[in-house]
Amino acid sequence: MRKQWRGDLFKNIFLKAAGATSIPYYLKAMEEIKEADATLYDWLNQISAKSWSKAHYSGWAKCDMQLNNMCESFNKQLVGARDKPVITCLEYIREYMTRRIINVRKMVSKAAGPLTPNATKTFEEIKTEASQLTVLMVDAYNYQVNSIRSQCVVNVKYKTCTCRKWDLTGMPCKHAAAAINDMAINTMNVGIPEQWVSEAYWLNT
């Protein structure tokens, strides 16, 4: 794509479609691409959206990463071992992973709360955003959450939201956090908000 469609315009409208978490937002972004360049629109439609747009992801991975940066960070560490004999290369990897595990354990020992440091920071930001939303209880499990520009429905039983961010990442979106907060205000036994976050983000995991 970069060879044929250069510049920030194409980059930004593509990233908007790739980052869309629900089908309506994806279709709206694709219409913007079509208006900007119909050939790019046709080219993208030839590639399965399941491989590049969040709106089509299953949510099984519970991860917000859309690039392979995590893999690349490991690959970078192996540069010094690639030209070595197999046993030497494996020993290099073992020592690197040992140091990494020890460093992670040090971070865990200093962390406050049940979630990893990055997850804690992200979830605090989400809770701040959630405080600006209004919540309407629909039934025992469903909540309508309104903001100035949008309206979403949260199902606390299945841990889903129509924005699909909770489904995709495993971390409650601002709509879900607002619904959980409303449940707590109405004396429902919801526990601490972090209990609603996927175990993938927990320190003990």
Residue 160 CA, chain-centre distance (Å), reads: 14
- pLDDT tens digits, 127-181: 999 999 999 999 989 999 999 888 999 999 999 999 999 999 999 999 999 999 9
Domain boundaries, the chain: 8-56, 69-110, 117-201
Q: Tokens standing for 133?
A: 């939303």
The pLDDT of residue 46 is above 90: yes
Contacts of 89 by beta carbon, 8 Å cutoff, 6+ apart:
78, 81, 82
Q: Which of 39-53, 70-84, 101-115 is most confident? A: 39-53
What count of other Cβ atoms lies within 10 Å of the Cβ of residue 88? 11
**Predicted pLDDT of residue 73:** 84
